[in-house]
């Protein structure tokens, strides 16, 4: 199975900060990576897949990377962005997720 | 709009069985695959199973292989997850999600608790 490793596990930041989350795959997954946002008690929401921002997601979110290293960047953190973020590879079954990055208020 | 509604969760003893349902609406159900993903309390997300639009499926996650079976009924716009030989580590919220081609739309989840 492909292992997905996110860093950091927790990120403390303030409104307006630029934050970056890194996701590494144990082998190349080309561009087949998605990012999800999850708030407590809610289902995850797809925010980014294969170098493309989902419709309706604010443009302050951006993603990059290919192969084994990927990043999700929030250019100016907003109150609604405090949540847990997961990366997920869909190159090969079984699909696998990173362990999550919790973005919390500093 | 796309809507997925899970049901069938509950409390079951170890070794027991449950069948989860995922009722879909707002899209042409027979044209899309459906995934099941679960989340143990306070933990991350784990992909469990997938059924394609043609009814074929990938091997399940290793943790549920031989115990869980995914199926679909295109007349009822519903996907099922039959869970047998349940273990305490199967406890968590189970979500179904539309394949498009990632987990594009999710249901609200149904809680499964395996405990004596």
CB B9 within 8 A of CB B77: no
Q: Label the pairing between strands A10-13 and B110-114.
A: unpaired
CB B96 within 8 A of CB B110: no
- Chain B residues closer than 8 Å to A4 by CB: none
Q: Per-residue pLDDT averaged across B25-49, rounded?
A: 97
Quick check: A61 pLDDT over 90?
Answer: yes
Does B2 contact A at CB distance below 8 Å? no
CA–CA separation, A61 and A63 (whole Å): 7
CB A98 within 8 A of CB A82: no
pLDDT digits (tens, 9 = 90+) for A69-82: 999 999 999 999 99
Cα of A54 to nearest chain B Cα, Å = 9
pLDDT digits (tens, 9 = 90+) for A1-49: 999 999 999 999 999 999 999 999 999 999 999 999 999 999 999 999 9
User: Is the omega angle on the peptide bond into residue A4 within 30 degrees of 0, that is, cis?
Assistant: no
| Phi and psi at residue A38, to the nearest 5° | -135, 130
Cα of B80 to nearest chain A Cα, Å = 19
CB B68 within 8 A of CB B60: yes
Calculate ∠ Cα B8-B13-B18, nearest 5°: 25
Q: Per-residue pLDDT averaged across B1-23, rounded?
A: 98
Residue A85's SS3 state is strand
> Quick one: pLDDT at residue A106?
86
């Amino acid at each position: 199975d492909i292992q997905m490793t996110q860093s950091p596990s927790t990120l403390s930041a303030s409104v307006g900060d630029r934050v970056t989350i890194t996701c590494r795959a144990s082998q190349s997954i080309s561009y087949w990576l998605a990012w999800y946002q999850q708030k407590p008690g809610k289902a995850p929401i797809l925010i980014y897949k294969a170098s493309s921002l989902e419709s309706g997601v604010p443009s302050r979110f951006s993603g990059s990377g290919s192969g084994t290293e990927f990043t999700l960047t929030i250019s100016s953190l907003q109150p609604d962005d405090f949540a847990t973020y997961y990366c997920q590879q869909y190159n090969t079954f079984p699909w696998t997720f990173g362990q999550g990055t919790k973005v919390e208020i500093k | 709009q796309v809507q997925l509604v899970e049901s069938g969760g509950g409390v079951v003893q170890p070794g027991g069985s449950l069948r989860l349902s995922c009722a879909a609406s707002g899209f042409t159900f027979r044209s899309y695959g459906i995934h099941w993903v679960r989340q143990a309390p306070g933990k991350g997300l784990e992909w469990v199973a997938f059924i394609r639009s043609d009814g074929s499926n990938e091997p399940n996650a290793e943790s549920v292989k031989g115990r869980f079976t995914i199926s679909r009924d295109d007349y009822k716009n519903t996907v099922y997850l039959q869970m047998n030989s349940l273990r305490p580590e199967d406890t968590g919220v189970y979500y179904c999600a539309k394949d498009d081609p990632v987990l594009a739309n999710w249901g609200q989840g149904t809680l499964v608790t395996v405990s004596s």
